């Protein structure tokens, strides 16, 4: 084959690492876009080799350097290349981009190092109305692909009892490996594969005491997310200590699960410190999932920084997926509360933030003066009922401990003589929360109270400690400190924890949930939606302890976790149910249905708040908290096609994702993508965007517009009435946003929020607006 060399570069193809010597090999993804014409897998692989032959000295070298040949939908390959070879490949006309594997790091998005551990779901957390489940047959004919740390197939949550055969369209496989063979797949787990070539190219062969070279989950995360999407109803389960007892169930309990293990334990690092997922492994899994025939992809994986869409393997893979109408739900990230911290912001992905449910794990403290202080914990140990001496850690530290961290119970800081038999109050700060409890235990303390500092917010830290314990917010930590100061003989008792349901307010936003605006494309309002991600109970791997700590002997079948990793599979499940009810809907229509029907109020009827009790905004929750039952009948949808996304990409200057598409000379404004929300960064004067809605409700309907403009802006929608005579009919309208004179003083980069809603008396089709001034 002849390679034509480009004579100019339209865009930066690859940032070559400056510090790498010229012959040092690294993994690169060579991206070729779409497969053209019908080619056999052999022909595709031959084609990929031919690129390698053109830069490698020997045929052997070319053959051994190929890691993956992407054959299903994505056209491209991953190979070990020198920077020089990568550069040469990027000069070839057909090559759209060359991405260096390690340029972007991906990991699973549970909370960082247990900084936000604990969680709950299942039992009472996520109950769908029975009629929606029935209408969708509980998702029986829908296949959800999970890209994660694998699966613990023995969990009761993955029983296939009574499930019947899976759809005949399924082409996936059950890949054998360590402690995993085809007997581990069933009518619930219908496929399981693993992807490790990128990982091994970086770290060498997997340490098989650390993780299984197979789809088996030795971490817990993949089992947790898979059971949140599609776990069967299992009665009377709870976390260790009986917390959150109830019936565990995934959102779509009869959905079929296809497991793609792409995230692995990191060598020489504890599992609790996190894991890693390589972009070439992720892309290979997504390509296979598309070819295998999944309907939905749920990916609780994200990057540690914002990544442009054409350098992000999740965005690239998802673009191929939505072409086949596969819905892709991804976690928004756990980098909040700072603004502009989102990952997975491509407009063809559903980006999911995390919020609470209406459950607390109450373990109050009774002080010697009779005062009762609210605390929360999921620690499964109780004190014998009597009063104990209470001390503040700073009062009992060893002499050499610096003053600024003396209250923080850092390892080795407490004096055993002084701590023995007492309840010790420690403050958050440096060190992990669990280790602070371990330090109290090491020093002989009998109980542990962990207090927030001012910056830690009003939600107490909820963890599974190693001794009787509870967590308190800053205000309550101060009350305890004042009490300790007020008496010569401070005493306290920690009341055994109980699970309280129907707590109010709920939901509120988790402080860790990543915030908008989207750093990569501020013209798309992200996240899209929020779902439960705080203290979620779901199935767990029996090869991983409760805390993932290697020295924690507590093994559990169900565990409580927090993170946008936990909220994403809720949306994965809801998407699967919608797919079952509306099999012909596009992924954009399903996302639109979820977005426009979301809830803005909490269970007190007030606007959803953040963890400080302040009103939250669309940069935290998108359009609000998901309501799957409403989403099944949204009335109108904002649809978008693959071509619409390519046009959007043209408008933000990305032209190297599909070479068969030629950008128009004057692309539309990026705000014009037919998205069910509206973001206008840096508005200068006035702007007008267009939207198109499709009637999916009753055949004859009349919709009226209601607008709540962002403060300081005028919003007009035209026309203000839409009349539909049949299902499937589309209507176009414009939205004009004008800065009014009153907001002259508004700061640059500061956003104002509003809403516009189409209403026909039954359906309320609501879209958030975010706008900032130039
Ligand atoms: C899978 O492994 C189990 C346990 O080792 C074994 O009993 C079973 O026969 C194996 N199944 C297949 C299909 O090899
Ligand atoms: C649930 O399990 C607990 C302990 O595992 C047991 O004590 C209790 O009786 C069970 N409840 C029901 C309703 O089966
Ligand atoms: C954490 O430790 C660092 C280094 O010892 C110190 O500078 C910092 O003040 C500590 N942070 C807190 C919150 O105590
Ligand atoms: C407790 O008393 C100490 C010493 O008098 C003082 O420095 C500290 O600020 C007091 N703490 C509180 C919470 O009142
Ligand atoms: C806003 O638009 C006006 C008129 O086109 C232009 O003169 C001005 O520089 C723009 N302001 C900003 C901040 O872009």
CATH code (residue 722): 2.60.40.2310
Confidence of residue 130 (pLDDT cuts 50, 70, 90): low
Give residue 12's pLDDT: 29
Give residue 447's pLDDT: 98
User: Is 132 contained in some domain?
Assistant: yes
DSSP string, 234-262: EEEE-STTSTT-EEE--SSTT-EEEEEE-
Give residue 757's pLDDT: 98
How far apart, in whole angstroms, are the C-alpha atoms of residue 512 and residue 539? Answer: 23
Per DSSP bridges, beta strands 447-451 and 423-427 are parallel
Q: Is the pLDDT of residue 4 over 50?
A: no
* Residue 570 designated active-site: no
Ligand 5 centroid from CA 710, angstroms: 21
* Residue 565 designated active-site: yes
748 CB under 6 A from ligand 5? Answer: no
181 CB under 6 A from ligand 1? Answer: yes
| Chosen domain end from 501, 523, 550 | 501
How far apart, in whole angstroms, are the C-alpha atoms of residue 348 and residue 329? Answer: 9
pLDDT in tens, 689-731: 999 999 999 889 999 999 999 999 999 999 999 999 999 999 9
Ligand 1 centroid from CA 270, angstroms: 30
User: Is 636 contained in some domain?
Assistant: no
- Alpha carbon 406 to chain centroid, angstroms: 36
Residues in contact with ligand 4 by the CB-under-6-Å rule are 478, 481-482, 485
User: Is 707 contained in some domain?
Assistant: yes
Please tell me whether residues 681 and 694 are part of one structural domain: yes
Q: Whose CA is nearest to atom 8 of ligand 3?
A: 430
Mutate which of 481, 486, 490 to test ligand 4's pocket (most atoms within 8 Å of Cβ)? 481
Mutate which of 425, 485, 488 to test ligand 4's pocket (most atoms within 8 Å of Cβ)? 485
Confidence of residue 118 (pLDDT cuts 50, 70, 90): very low
Report the DSSP beta bridge partners of residue 227. none
- 365: domain CATH number? 3.50.30.30
Q: At what angle do helices 313-323 and 642-651 cross, to 10 degrees?
A: 140
User: Is 637 contained in some domain?
Assistant: no
Report the DSSP beta bridge partners of residue 730. 694
pLDDT in tens, 571-610: 999 999 999 999 999 999 999 999 999 999 999 999 999 9
Please tell me whether residues 320 and 191 are part of one structural domain: yes
Closest-lying ligand to the alpha carbon of 773?
5
Confidence of residue 122 (pLDDT cuts 50, 70, 90): very low
* Residue 295 designated active-site: no
Closest-lying ligand to the alpha carbon of 183?
1
User: Is 742 contained in some domain?
Assistant: yes
How far apart, in whole angstroms, are the C-alpha atoms of residue 228 and residue 144? Answer: 12
Q: Which residue has the higher pLDDT, 534 or 746?
A: 534
Give residue 744's pLDDT: 61
Mean pLDDT score, 468-476: 96
Q: Is the pLDDT of residue 39 over 60?
A: yes
How far apart, in whole angstroms, are the C-alpha atoms of residue 147 and residue 165? Answer: 23
Catalytically annotated residue among 48, 221, 320, 625:
221
How far apart, in whole angstroms, are the C-alpha atoms of residue 217 and residue 199? Answer: 16
Mean pLDDT score, 651-665: 92
Please tell me whether residues 487 and 511 are part of one structural domain: no
Please tell me whether residues 338 and 376 are part of one structural domain: no
DSSP string, 393-453: GGGGB-TTS-GGGTTS--TT-B-HHHHTT-EEEEE-SSS-HHHHHHHHHHTT-SEEEEE--
pLDDT > 90 in the chain, percent: 77
Residues of the chain by 3-state class (helix, strand, coil), percent to 5:
25, 25, 50
Q: Where are the alpha helices (DSSP H) in 659-748?
A: none
Give residue 743's pLDDT: 62
Please tell me whether residues 614 and 474 are part of one structural domain: no
Give residue 137's pLDDT: 77
* Number of other CB atoms surrounding residue 195 within 10 Å: 27
User: Is 42 contained in some domain?
Assistant: yes
584 CB under 6 A from ligand 5? Answer: no
Kindly report the backbone phi and psi dihedral angles of residue 713, in degrees, each rounded to the nearest multiple of 5, phi listed first.
-130, 155
3-state secondary structure of 771: strand
In ligand 5, which atom is closest to the CA atom of 684? 1
Confidence of residue 110 (pLDDT cuts 50, 70, 90): low
pLDDT in tens, 40-60: 999 999 999 999 999 999 989
Q: Is the pLDDT of residue 113 over 80?
A: no
User: Is 640 contained in some domain?
Assistant: no
Q: Whose CA is nearest to atom 7 of ligand 3?
A: 404
Please tell me whether residues 217 and 246 are part of one structural domain: yes
Confidence of residue 22 (pLDDT cuts 50, 70, 90): low
| Chosen domain end from 600, 631, 662 | 631
pLDDT in tens, 234-245: 988 888 888 888
Report the DSSP beta bridge partners of residue 694. 637, 730
User: Is 655 contained in some domain?
Assistant: no
Q: Whose CA is nearest to atom 5 of ligand 5?
A: 684
The answer to whether 109 touches 334, Cβ cutoff 8 Å, is yes
Confidence of residue 139 (pLDDT cuts 50, 70, 90): confident
| Chosen domain end from 501, 530, 553 | 501
183 CB under 6 A from ligand 5? Answer: no
Please tell me whether residues 474 and 556 are part of one structural domain: no
* Number of other CB atoms surrounding residue 504 within 10 Å: 12
- CA 536-358-765 angle, to 5 degrees, is 95
Mean pLDDT score, 56-80: 94
Give residue 65's pLDDT: 96
Report the DSSP beta bridge partners of residue 324. none
**H or E stretch at 314:** helix 313-323
Please tell me whether residues 99 and 147 are part of one structural domain: no
pLDDT in tens, 510-554: 988 999 999 999 999 999 999 999 988 899 999 999 989 888 999
Give residue 740's pLDDT: 85
What lies within 8 Å, CB to CB, of 655 at 6+ separation is 10, 11, 649, 663
Please tell me whether residues 36 and 78 are part of one structural domain: yes
Q: Whose CA is nearest to atom 6 of ligand 5?
A: 684
Burial of 230 (0-12, 13-18, 19+ CB in 10 A): buried
**pTM, entire model:** 0.91
How far apart, in whole angstroms, are the C-alpha atoms of residue 234 and residue 163? Answer: 15
Q: Is the pLDDT of residue 390 over 50?
A: yes
pLDDT in tens, 308-361: 999 999 999 999 999 999 999 999 999 888 999 999 999 999 999 999 998 899
Please tell me whether residues 434 and 448 are part of one structural domain: yes
In ligand 5, which atom is closest to the CA atom of 774? 13
Mean pLDDT score, 176-185: 98
How far apart, in whole angstroms, are the C-alpha atoms of residue 414 and residue 658? Answer: 61
- 227: domain CATH number? 3.40.50.200
pLDDT > 70 in the chain, percent: 93
Please tell me whether residues 147 and 261 are part of one structural domain: yes
How far apart, in whole angstroms, are the C-alpha atoms of residue 281 and residue 362? Answer: 42
Ligand 3 centroid from CA 404, angstroms: 7
Q: Is the pLDDT of residue 19 over 50?
A: no
- 33: domain CATH number? 3.30.70.80
Ligand 4 centroid from CA 441, angstroms: 25
How far apart, in whole angstroms, are the C-alpha atoms of residue 28 and residue 14? Answer: 10
Please tell me whether residues 157 and 97 are part of one structural domain: no
Q: Is the pLDDT of residue 90 over 80?
A: yes
The answer to whether 397 touches 410, Cβ cutoff 8 Å, is no
Mean pLDDT score, 646-662: 93
64 CB under 6 A from ligand 3? Answer: no
Domain count, the chain: 4
User: What is the average pLDDT value for the chain, to the nearest integer?
Assistant: 91
Ligand 3 centroid from CA 405, angstroms: 7
In ligand 4, which atom is closest to the CA atom of 484? 1
Q: Which residue has the higher pLDDT, 294 or 3?
A: 294
684 CB under 6 A from ligand 5? Answer: yes
DSSP string, 465-499: -SSSEEEE-HHHHHHHHHHHHH-SS-EEEEPPPEE
What residue numbers bound the domain in which 81 lies? 5-103
Give residue 699's pLDDT: 87
Mean pLDDT score, 375-379: 95
Give residue 226's pLDDT: 97
Cα dihedral 427, 433, 434, 436 in deg (nearest 10): -30
């Amino acid at each position: 084959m002849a390679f034509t060399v480009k004579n100019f570069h339209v865009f930066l193809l690859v940032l070559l690492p400056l510090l790498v010597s010229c012959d040092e090999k690294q993994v690169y993804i060579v991206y070729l876009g779409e497969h053209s014409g019908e080619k056999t897998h052999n022909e595709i692989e031959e084609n990929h080799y031919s690129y390698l032959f053109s830069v490698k000295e020997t045929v052997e070298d070319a053959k051994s350097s190929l890691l993956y040949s992407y054959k299903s939908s994505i056209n491209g390959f991953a190979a070990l290349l020198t920077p020089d070879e990568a550069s040469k490949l990027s000069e070839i006309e057909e090559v759209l981009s060359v991405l260096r594997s390690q340029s972007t790091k991906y990991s699973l998005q549970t909370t960082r190092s247990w900084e936000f551990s604990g969680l709950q779901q299942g039992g009472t957390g996520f109950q769908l109305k029975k009629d929606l489940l029935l209408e969708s047959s509980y998702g029986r004919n829908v296949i959800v692909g999970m890209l994660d740390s694998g699966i613990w197939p023995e969990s009761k949550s993955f029983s296939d009892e009574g499930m019947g055969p899976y759809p005949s369209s399924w082409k996936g496989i059950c890949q054998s490996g360590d402690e995993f063979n085809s007997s581990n797949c069933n009518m619930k787990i219908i496929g399981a594969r693993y992807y490790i070539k990128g990982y091994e190219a970086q770290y060498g062969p997997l340490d098989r005491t650390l993780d299984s070279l197979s789809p088996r989950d030795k971490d817990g995360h993949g089992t947790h997310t898979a059971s949140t999407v599609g776990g069967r109803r299992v009665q009377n389960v709870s976390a260790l200590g009986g917390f959150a007892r109830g019936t565990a169930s995934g959102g779509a309990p009869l959905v079929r699960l296809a497991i793609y293990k792409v995230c692995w334990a990191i060598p020489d690092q504890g599992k609790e410190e996190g894991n890693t997922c390589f972009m070439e492994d992720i892309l290979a899994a997504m390509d296979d999932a598309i070819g295998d025939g999944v309907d939905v992809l749920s990916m609780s994986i994200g990057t540690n920084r914002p990544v442009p869409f054409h350098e992000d393997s999740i965005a690239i893979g998802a673009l191929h997926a939505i072409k086949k109408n596969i819905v892709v739900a991804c976690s928004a990230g756990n980098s909040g509360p700072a603004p502009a911290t989102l990952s997975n912001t491509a407009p063809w992905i559903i980006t999911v933030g995390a919020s609470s449910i209406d459950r607390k794990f109450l373990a109050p403290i009774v002080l010697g003066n009779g005062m009762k202080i609210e605390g929360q914990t999921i620690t499964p140990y109780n004190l014998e009922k009597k009063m104990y001496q209470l001390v503040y850690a700073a009062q009992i530290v060893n002499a050499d401990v610096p003053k600024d961290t003396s209250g923080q119970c850092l390892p080795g800081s407490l004096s055993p003589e002084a701590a023995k038999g007492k309840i010790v109050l420690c403050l958050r700060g440096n060190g992990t929360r669990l280790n602070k409890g371990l330090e109290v235990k090491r020093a002989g303390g009998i109980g542990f109270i962990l207090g927030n500092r001012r910056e830690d917010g009003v939600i107490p830290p909820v963890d599974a400690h190693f001794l009787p314990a509870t967590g308190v917010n800053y205000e309550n930590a101060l009350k305890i400190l004042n009490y300790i100061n007020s008496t010569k003989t401070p005493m306290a008792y920690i009341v055994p924890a109980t699970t309280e349901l129907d707590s109010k307010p709920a939901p509120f936003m988790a402080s860790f949930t990543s915030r908008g605006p989207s750093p990569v494309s501020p013209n798309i309002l992200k996240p899209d939606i929020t779902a439960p991600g705080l203290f979620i109970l779901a199935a767990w791997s029996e090869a991983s302890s409760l805390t993932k700590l290697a020295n924690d002997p507590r093994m559990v079948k169900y565990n409580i976790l927090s993170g946008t990793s936990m909220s994403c599979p809720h949306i994965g499940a809801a998407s699967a149910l919608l797919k079952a009810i509306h099999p012909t809907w596009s992924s954009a229509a399903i996302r639109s249905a979820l977005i426009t029907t979301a809830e803005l109020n909490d269970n007190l009827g007030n606007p959803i708040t953040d963890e400080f009790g302040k009103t939250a905004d669309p940069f935290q929750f998108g359009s609000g908290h998901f309501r799957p039952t409403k989403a099944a009948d949204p009335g109108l949808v904002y649809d978008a096609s693959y071509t619409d996304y390519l046009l959007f990409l043209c408008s933000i200057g990305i032209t190297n994702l599909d070479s068969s598409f030629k950008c128009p000379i004057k692309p539309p404004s990026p705000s014009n993508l037919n998205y069910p929300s509206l973001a206008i960064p840096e508005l200068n004067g006035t702007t007008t965007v267009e939207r198109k809605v499709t009637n999916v409700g009753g055949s004859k309907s009349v919709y009226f517009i209601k607008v709540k403009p962002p403060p300081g802006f005028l919003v007009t929608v035209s026309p203000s009435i839409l009349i539909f005579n049949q299902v499937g009919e589309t209507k176009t309208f414009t939205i004009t946003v004008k800065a009014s004179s009153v907001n002259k003083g508004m700061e640059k980069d500061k956003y104002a929020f509003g809403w516009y809603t189409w209403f026909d008396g039954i359906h309320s089709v609501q879209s958030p607006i975010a706008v900032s001034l130039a």
